[in-house]
Amino acid sequence: MSSEFGKNLRVSVFGESHGPGIGVVVNGFPAGETVDMDRLLFFMSRRAPGNSRLTTSRKEADLPEFISGIRDNVLTGSPFAAVIRNTNQRSGDYRGFDDTPRPSHADYTAAVKWHGAADMRGGGHFSGRLTAPLCAAGNIAIQILARKGIRIGAHLSNIGGVEDVRFPVQPDEELLDMLNAMMFPVIDGEKGIMMQQIIQQAAGEGDSVGGAVECTAVGLPAGLGAPMFEGVESMLSATLFGIPGVKGVSFGSGFDCVSMSGSAHNDPFIIEDGVVRTETNNSGGIQGGITNGMPLIVQVAMKPTASIAKAQKTISLSQMKETEIEIHGRHDPCIAIRAVPVIEAVTALVLLDLLIGGQA
């Protein structure tokens, strides 16, 4: 069992929500690359809780301590390691779930798998908090990719059924800059207001709501990835499904392709400025598992937060009988918002891995 991913760039995440700390080890970051710490910390702040009424009111300092692989803000080549201390836990908020597993949390499956030894306070190793070190590592990848002309951006494409407009066939720098700077990134601001109303309503009812995130990578060379099981979709989906709460991953047209005809779905090749492109991008930038030079488009479905204030049916494992549970504490009414930078981070790490592996 491995909380790890990657081939030529290997990422390993560790930690439990209420233990001493969480962290990440990365093998394979290219030596000599400089890390802009201000940009890294701003990026991490996009994931951090407590930044808005729409997210949990918990505050986390979440400042990573760099243990190895970086010296004077330059990557040394040896394994990169960072640790984030856990300082703001209120374990009391999470008492009692060892016996009465929270619906749609990992309390029950962790108890079965780890024979009751799991430290599940605050969700333990399954907590969304584990995505903080992913963002630290991911932003380093984002900075390295940017120097190679590859830009990542993402927005909330759907919350509670309200859809943002989708990325254009060729997202420009300006759009990506804008989204990268937003705490609630949407392309169509009016849709964003509607989404926020839905979230506030759910929060007011002690409930939560699901959402989708669309992520793009622009500037990729053609030829990354491989046929069949080491294609870009395979590597990226495997990693995205490692983010807590992800229920679906699709590329390009995604599940919409189900009701499309081939003549509408196929992406005709064209030549623009002497470069091979496609007129549409239902392929999401990938054909046969390999990048074609068009923007990568991936969409991720995030389930509604499982921790809700409403009373819920569950069971007592010790007594093997049905009972009720109420979950207190501070929770995001919509985890999709803070998932946006996490999805960008993971996408960047997988793409950097593919770039290191080479096109051929």
Residues 159-188 that bind a second copy (CB under 8 A): 159-161
Q: Site residues for a second copy, window 9-48 (CB under 8 A)?
A: 10, 12-16, 19-23, 25, 27-28, 30-32
Tracing tokens 């907590």 back to the chain, one arrives at 127
Nearer residue to a second copy within complex by CB, 39 or 85: 85
What is the smallest separation between the CB atom of 269 and a second copy, expressed in angstroms?
A: 4
Q: For a second copy, which is the closer residue by CB, 116 or 189?
A: 116
Ranges within 194-253 binding a second copy (CB under 8 A): 202, 207-212, 222-223, 226-231, 233-235, 237-239, 241-242, 244, 246-253
Give the shortest CB-273-to-a second copy separation in angstroms.
11
| Minimum separation from the CB atom of position 126 to a second copy (A) | 4
Residue 25 CB-half CA count within 13 A: 9
CA distances for 57 relative to 16, 53, 107, angstroms: 20, 7, 23
Q: Which residue of 47, 58, 125, 155 would you call a contact of a second copy, by CB under 8 A? A: 125
The token duo for 327 is 């979950």
Sole window of 44-52, 67-75, 165-173, 178-186 interacting with a second copy (rule: CB under 8 A): 67-75
Site membership for a second copy, residue 266 (CB under 8 A)? yes
Q: Which long-range contacts (CB under 8 A, 24 or more apart) does 66-69 make?
A: 67/23, 69/26, 69/29
- Whether residue 102 contacts residue 327, with contact meaning beta carbons closer than 8 Å, is answered with yes
Residue 352: both structure tokens together? 């950097």
Q: Which is nearer to a second copy, 93 or 99 (CB)?
A: 99
Kind plus residue range of the DSSP H or E element containing 148: none
How far apart are CB 177 and a second copy at their closest, in Å? 26
Written as six digits, the tokens of 93 are: 């908020």
130 binds a second copy (CB under 8 A): yes
Min dist. Cβ of residue 168 to a second copy (A): 19
Number of residues that bind a second copy (CB under 8 A): 148
Least distance between a second copy and beta carbon 182 (Å): 20
- Which one, 39 or 277, has the nearer CB to a second copy? 277
User: Distance between CA atoms of 144 and 135, rounded to whole angstroms?
Assistant: 14
CB closer to a second copy out of 177 and 255: 255
Cβ neighbours of 222 (radius 10 Å)? 15
Chain center to CA of 261: 31
Number of neighbouring beta carbons within 10 Å of residue 30: 13
- Tally the C-alpha atoms within 13 A of residue 159's C-alpha that lie toward its C-beta: 31
Residues 6+ positions from 220 with CB-CB distance below 8 Å = 150, 285, 291, 293, 295, 296, 351
Among 42, 143, 183, 289, the residue binding a second copy under the rule CB under 8 A is: 289
Q: Which of 141, 204, 126, 55 is nearest to 352 (CA)?
A: 141
Two tokens, residue 190:
């009016």
- Candidate list 38, 117, 174, 273; residue touching a second copy; CB under 8 A: 117
State the minimum distance, in angstroms, from the CB of residue 45 to a second copy.
Answer: 23
Q: Identity (one letter) of the amino acid at 55? A: T
Residue of 36, 51, 93, 114 that binds a second copy (CB under 8 A):
114
Among residues 50 and 103, whose Cβ is nearest to a second copy?
103
Judged by CB under 8 A, the chain residues 93 through 112 that form the site for a second copy are 101, 103-106, 108-110, 112
Specify the pairing of strand 286-287 against strand 290-291: antiparallel
Contact pick of 172, 173, 177, 279 for a second copy (by CB under 8 A): 279
